[in-house]
Amino acid sequence: MPFAPTTFVHQPALDSAVRAVESSFASQVVHIRYSLADDSSGAPAIFFRILVRDESALIERLREFSMRISIALMNAARTDENGLHAYFNFRSVSEQARHRNPDWE
């Protein structure tokens, strides 16, 4: 996924907002990373990568909290006010251990 900021965003405020959501979901989430890039339609977007604890990555548990954390991130990061569309990707710790993708570290 290319890292290419496409719109003006106050990065420290964004970092702080993401960290706050990360803390409030600490029992399910290891950490949250993000990138700014254009989406497939060419619009400015933020791509969240949410690393989930294995015990929370069972589909029924993930289904339960994925929407809540998605909305929390959109609110905290004020994605629409920043002109960004938010996209969410979830991966478990054991899946990341197989991939070792640095974007998720």
Partner 1 sequence: MAYPDELLDSAFSLLRAAPATQANLRRAVSSAYYALFHLLIGEACRNWSRPEQRNRLARKFEHARMLAASKQCADRYRNAASGSAEAYLFTVAHAFSQLQEKRHTADYDLSEPLETTEVALDISLVQDAFEGWSMTQGEQISQDYLFSLLFKDKS
Rounded to a whole number of angstroms, the CA Rg of the chain reads 13
Interface with partner 1 in residues 69-98 (CB under 8 A): 70-71, 74-75, 79-80, 85, 87-92, 95
Residue given tokens 């965003």 in the structure block: 9
Establish if 39 lies at the interface with partner 1 (CB under 8 A).
yes
Establish if 67 lies at the interface with partner 1 (CB under 8 A).
yes
**Number of alpha helices (DSSP H) and beta strands (DSSP E) in the chain:** 3, 3
Establish if 7 lies at the interface with partner 1 (CB under 8 A).
no
CB of 13 to partner 1, least distance (A): 19
Establish if 6 lies at the interface with partner 1 (CB under 8 A).
no
Q: ∠82-85-97 over CA atoms, to 5°?
A: 115
